[in-house]
Amino acid sequence: MVIKRNRYAEDLRRKALLKYKFKKVVREVIMNSQWLDENYEDQKISANVKKNIALMMRTKRRVGILTIYEKSLIRTPHHLRTISDRSKLCILFAGLRCFLCIPPKLRARVVPVIKYMSANPGRTIIRQGDEPHIIFFIVAGEIGMLKQSDRKVKLNSNYKFKLIVFPKFKSNCEISFGPGDCIGDIEIIEDRPRDYSYVATSQCELLVLVDNDFNSILKPYMQKVWNDKKAALKALDYFDFLSEDQILKACKLCTLKQYKPLDTIYSHDRGKLTNVHFVLSGQCLILQCLNMKVIVKNGKKGYELVDTLDGEFLNMNSNNSINKREVKSPSMFAALNAIHDNEKESSGYVVRPSVR
């Protein structure tokens, strides 16, 4: 039996390929319509001429951190990038908060394999129970971490009970992640299914890394940091009551920092009030700087506390500052030197640190 050749087979194959490419382009445009149209604004023209001119002259609103050129550069295949493009990407990634803790050599190796992704509000980034294959670096936007619980319903049919399980999310977000955070890395490091679901709460810009590239580039470094965090938490008696799940969550939120001798951990006007510091090794002092006025009465020296406004500092090196009652102390050394210098003075203003 002779099979008759289809003379139009090549044309049909070519049309199917073009149709597939067109659908792929349409899907990409729909998924990334937000950043493609970031320079577009709905300017409604009215009868008010001044208002129309103000709308036309107004600076275009920029959504997110990355520009269209930077996004297109990240999306360009690595073999098509020039040497100049690759150096620009290395400089760009060095300035992103999500890569500040990664060594420069590892950061340069990530550039060829990382991908860009845009997520609209309400989109599920990671679903609870799935196998971990991707990690996400948040460049812009916020992502909420939700815990999924099962809601069971029993149906009675001919005296036979059937059990149906409906997945249901908790209404409140347990943790909110923002720019500079990384999600999805814990499950790959611990080799376990996804413990939580992550949903975008605002327009997000993400950098995506698949598990094979993560295992070969970043996993050895991040595994060491992760083990150090777990060892630090377990070394403190304060966290003996924590469960394994709570330890994993605490390791996700905490950071390890090292300070040199005489470094300031935080001062009265610097640092975040939401951070709590636990000392793993070494010693630290709590200093309180007070503005004191030296008063001499009947040949006896006395001190009086002077109220100052927030944001005023002490500087003992300037006579004008002393006369104006604006003494500025940029560091602990200036405060200590001010005490010794003012012991010789009969009047003036001094900063006296108290050790608690």
The verdict on residue 8 lying in a domain is no
- CA 155, 157, 159 angle in degrees (round to 5)? 105
- Tell me how far apart the alpha carbons of residues 12 and 120 are, in angstroms, rounded to a whole number: 37
Give the pLDDT mean for 143-167. 58
User: What pLDDT sits at residue 49?
Assistant: 66
Helices (H), 32-155: 33-36, 49-57, 68-75, 83-94, 104-110
Tally Cβ neighbours within 10 Å of residue 296.
Answer: 11
311: left (phi over 0), alpha (psi -120 to 50) or beta: left
- 210 and 77 belong to one structural domain: yes
Most confident range, picked from 6-10, 182-186, 344-348: 182-186
* Average pLDDT of every residue of the chain: 75
Number of residues in the chain: 356
User: What pLDDT sits at residue 8?
Assistant: 76
- Tell me how far apart the alpha carbons of residues 197 and 187 are, in angstroms, rounded to a whole number: 12
Exposure string for 297-326, b = 16+ CB within 10 A, e = fewer = eeeeeeeeeeeeeeeebbbbeeeebbeeeb
The verdict on residue 226 lying in a domain is no
The per-residue pLDDT for range 161-195, each reduced to its tens digit, is 444 444 555 556 788 898 989 999 989 998 889 88
What is the count of structural domains for the chain?
Answer: 3
Q: What is the dihedral of CA 15, 20, 26, 27, to 10 degrees?
A: 170
User: What pLDDT sits at residue 56?
Assistant: 63
Q: In terms of residue numbers, what domain contains 197?
A: 68-218
Residue 292: band (very low, low, confident or very high) from pLDDT cuts 50, 70, 90:
confident
- 50 and 73 belong to one structural domain: no
- 164 and 270 belong to one structural domain: no
The verdict on residue 244 lying in a domain is no
User: What pLDDT sits at residue 35?
Assistant: 56
The per-residue pLDDT for range 92-147, each reduced to its tens digit, is 999 888 898 899 999 999 999 999 988 888 889 999 888 999 999 999 999 998 88
User: What pLDDT sits at residue 236?
Assistant: 85
- 51 and 152 belong to one structural domain: no
Instruction: Kindly state the percentage of the chain with pLDDT values over 90.
Output: 19
Q: Do 307 and 293 contact (CB within 8 A), yes or no?
A: no
Residue 329: band (very low, low, confident or very high) from pLDDT cuts 50, 70, 90:
very low
Give the pLDDT mean for 41-64. 60
Tally Cβ neighbours within 10 Å of residue 227.
Answer: 12
- 175 and 92 belong to one structural domain: yes
- 77 and 27 belong to one structural domain: no
The verdict on residue 250 lying in a domain is no
Give the pLDDT mean for 289-298. 81
Residue 316, pLDDT above cutoff 50: no
User: What pLDDT sits at residue 170?
Assistant: 52
CA distances from 152 to 161, 163, 189 (A): 12, 7, 32
User: What pLDDT sits at residue 60?
Assistant: 53
pTM: 0.62
Residue 161's Cβ-side half-sphere holds a number of Cα atoms within 13 Å equal to: 4
- 297 and 211 belong to one structural domain: no
Residue 245: band (very low, low, confident or very high) from pLDDT cuts 50, 70, 90:
confident
Tell me which of 234-238, 262-266, 316-320 is least confident. 316-320
The verdict on residue 159 lying in a domain is yes
Residue 13: band (very low, low, confident or very high) from pLDDT cuts 50, 70, 90:
confident
| CATH label of the domain that carries residue 123 | 2.60.120.10
- 52 and 79 belong to one structural domain: no
Q: Do 169 and 60 contact (CB within 8 A), yes or no?
A: no
The verdict on residue 309 lying in a domain is yes
Sign (positive or negative) of CA dihedral 104, 108, 114, 117: positive
- 122 and 203 belong to one structural domain: yes
- 130 and 184 belong to one structural domain: yes
- 181 and 78 belong to one structural domain: yes
The verdict on residue 25 lying in a domain is yes
> Which is more confidently placed, 287 or 59?
287
Secondary structure class of 255 (helix, strand, coil): coil
- 73 and 213 belong to one structural domain: yes
- Tell me how far apart the alpha carbons of residues 267 and 278 are, in angstroms, rounded to a whole number: 16
Beta strand 300-305 with 204-210: parallel, antiparallel or unpaired? unpaired
